[in-house]
Amino acid sequence: TSCHPHGAIPVHFEVCLCSSSSSLGEGWSCEKIYDDEPSSWQDNGLECADATLEFTFSKDIYFQFLTYENIEDSKSFKRNFKPRDILITSEEEGFSIEYELENQNTSSQWIDLNTSSSVITIQILSAYPGEEVNGAEPFLECSIQEITFYGRG
């Protein structure tokens, strides 16, 4: 995967490296968050508790905003835990944003950032619980389908 921007301004920046405090396994690693596929990151059955995701880029970037997407598949969306309150930080001193995500999977959620950094960290502070679907027990895994970062290099 290259770390070069593509598209019009504001530019979509590719993540070079990511790490997560936990993942269900290789098929649900944090790389799934930025693969433009309906795959997802899932924690290891921790219900989003104390989850942290760190995204590293090839250079300092002025991040204007990010878009966030919950799992598209409606059964999986209902059964999995989903982040609710998140804390976003960067390497820029004093920068932090607390944001309450919506419990929906019908559209992307836009979060203004306006920070310069080569690393963005997202901590999950609280979660929407998974629900039973047609008698199937809820999943204990926290899930995120896609996060896309936009800005100027």
pTM: 0.91
Specify the 3-state DSSP secondary structure of 40: coil
Q: Are 153 and 65 in contact (CB under 8 A)?
A: no
Specify the 3-state DSSP secondary structure of 88: strand
Per-residue pLDDT, 8:
45
Per-residue pLDDT, 6:
47
**Between the CA of residue 150 and those of 121, 147, 153, what are the distances in Å?**
15, 10, 10
Per-residue pLDDT, 11:
79
Type of residue at 50: D
Q: Are 29 and 23 in contact (CB under 8 A)?
A: yes
| Segment 19-74, tens digit of pLDDT | 999 999 888 999 999 998 889 999 999 999 999 999 999 999 999 999 999 999 99
